[in-house]
């Protein structure tokens, strides 16, 4: 049979073979299939018989794979189709089985056996094989084991919650995230937390929420992130309670200067210096929670206080184990007081902290 018996007429411009879809992209690690429709040329003679082969040629693959491994990743069924007239359609099932090697693949599925005058571009099949990595799920706030304090009970605490989920490079994107919280007054199975999430469908999802806590006690927060490789769940335990009774303060102040028996010249800088001894170990220590408050005393009433701390301006200095503030005094006769305090803070979102006075000294200028 010659070409002239297959084509009813050869137009001045060649007829085309069409493919639907013309391209197909597949992501993941699981086998998947799609139907490829091949539309024959409109000028194929009625009653003719054209047996057309369908094959896939690899055009891209990760390095290190054998040709046989790449070829086995794509299957066509059937591998040949028959056309007996113009504009007929044949269907081929294309099955992709990822070869368990992360990376990008591409094949050209092409039908052959048509007369040379027929345009034939084929179907491009892309595979982005992703790793089998499950998401890494993390609770960013509160941290596991954290103690949170409220000022009093009853109370209503708007507790901020933070989460994130990430997937390693080449992993499939995070498709969903969920959170549950259980604890006093909540269902035993946990109560669903309404998450506000950004990044779903990508490799990085950040979520936050606010949950109303109204009872003291221990809570369990559970967070789950899901992708095509599976799911990962993490938990954080935290406790909501009243501020604890402060343990006995072990720090003791040993003053070097000034003393109550010393009178300084007004208008000069008076050195306020001391050491701190931990009475449980009898060791001299430098405690960064120490604060020094200096202020004038007028007619028995304190004036404006200047507070010196370890890291926030204004700061005191430490030379070895000695704390030092050079306090500028006013000219003339004045009375001053120096307080050494220990700042004790609680974890957020508590009401803050408390300050324990360790020692005080008064001094005069003239």
Check if 3-129 and 136-241 are the same fold. yes
- The SS3 of residue 4 is helix
Provide the pLDDT for residue 10.
40
Q: Give the pLDDT of residue 287.
A: 81
**Residue-level pLDDT at 225:** 96
pLDDT in tens, 88-127: 999 999 999 988 777 889 999 999 998 767 889 999 999 9
Contact 219, 174 (CB under 8 A): no
Which of 290, 295, 299 lies closest to 344, judged by CA? Answer: 290
pLDDT at 360 over 80: yes
Which has the closest alpha carbon to 291: 303, 278, 309? Answer: 309
Say whether pLDDT at 188 is over 90: no
- pLDDT surpassing 90 at residue 51: yes
Q: CATH for 136-241?
A: 2.60.40.650
pLDDT value for 250 = 66
CA distance 287 to 322: 11
CA-closest candidate to residue 19, choices 99, 109, 139, 115: 109
| Topology of the domain covering 3-129 | Immunoglobulin-like (2.60.40)
> In this predicted model, what pLDDT tens digit does every residue of 16-42 receive, in sequence order?
899 999 999 887 777 899 999 999 998
The ranges assigned to domains in the chain are: 3-129, 136-241, 251-365
Cβ atoms of residues 196 and 228 within 8 Å: no
Task: Read off the pTM.
Answer: 0.43
Q: pLDDT at position 61, please?
A: 92
Residue predicted with more confidence, 194 or 129: 194
Write down the pLDDT at residue 351.
38
Confidence of residue 346 (pLDDT cuts 50, 70, 90): very low
222-256 pLDDT, tens digit each: 999 999 888 999 999 998 887 655 445 667 889 99
pLDDT above 90: residue 280: no
Cβ atoms of 41 and 118 within 8 Å: the answer is yes
pLDDT tens per residue across span 134-170 = 899 999 888 888 878 776 788 888 888 999 999 887 7
Quick one: fold of 251-365?
Immunoglobulin-like (2.60.40)
Distances (CA, A) of 174 to 28, 140, 202: 12, 17, 6
Read off the pLDDT of residues 57-97 as tens digits, 9 standing for 90 and up. 999 998 888 999 999 999 999 999 999 988 899 999 999 99
- What was the pLDDT predicted at 180? 97
């Amino acid at each position: 049979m010659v070409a002239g018996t297959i084509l009813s007429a050869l137009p001045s411009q060649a007829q085309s073979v069409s493919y639907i879809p013309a391209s197909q992209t597949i992501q993941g690690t699981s086998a998947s299939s799609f139907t490829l429709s091949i539309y024959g040329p409109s000028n194929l003679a009625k009653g003719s018989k054209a047996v057309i082969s369908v094959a896939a040629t690899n055009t891209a693959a990760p390095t290190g794979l054998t040709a046989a491994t790449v070829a086995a990743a794509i299957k066509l069924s059937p591998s040949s189709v028959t056309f007996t007239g113009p504009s007929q359609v044949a269907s081929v099932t294309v099955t992709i089985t990822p070869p368990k090697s992360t990376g990008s693949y591409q094949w050209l599925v092409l039908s052959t056996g048509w007369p040379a005058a027929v345009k034939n571009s084929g179907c491009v099949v892309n595979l982005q094989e992703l790793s089998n990595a499950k998401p890494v799920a993390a609770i960013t706030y509160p941290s596991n084991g954290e103690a949170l304090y409220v000022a009093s009970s009853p109370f209503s605490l708007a507790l901020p919650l933070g989460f994130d989920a990430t997937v390693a490079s080449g992993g499939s994107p995070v498709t969903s995230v969920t959170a549950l919280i259980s604890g006093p007054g909540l269902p035993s199975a946990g109560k669903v937390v309404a998450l506000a999430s950004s990044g779903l469908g990508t490799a990085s999802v950040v979520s936050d929420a606010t949950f109303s806590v109204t009872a003291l006690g221990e809570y369990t927060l559970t967070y789950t992130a899901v992708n095509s490789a599976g799911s990962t769940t993490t938990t954080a335990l935290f406790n909501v309670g009243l501020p604890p009774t402060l343990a006995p303060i072990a720090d003791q102040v040993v003053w070097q200067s000034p003393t109550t028996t010393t009178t300084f010249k007004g208008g000069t800088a008076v050195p306020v210096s001391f050491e701190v001894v931990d009475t449980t170990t009898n060791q001299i220590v430098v405690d960064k929670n120490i604060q020094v408050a200096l202020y004038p005393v007028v007619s028995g009433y304190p004036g404006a206080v200047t507070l010196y701390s370890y890291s926030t301006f204004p700061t005191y200095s430490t030379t070895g184990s000695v704390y030092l503030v050079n306090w500028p005094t006013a000219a003339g006769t004045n009375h001053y007081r120096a307080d050494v305090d220990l700042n004790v803070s609680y974890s957020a979102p508590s009401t803050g902290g408390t300050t324990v006075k360790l020692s005080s000294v008064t001094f005069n200028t003239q």
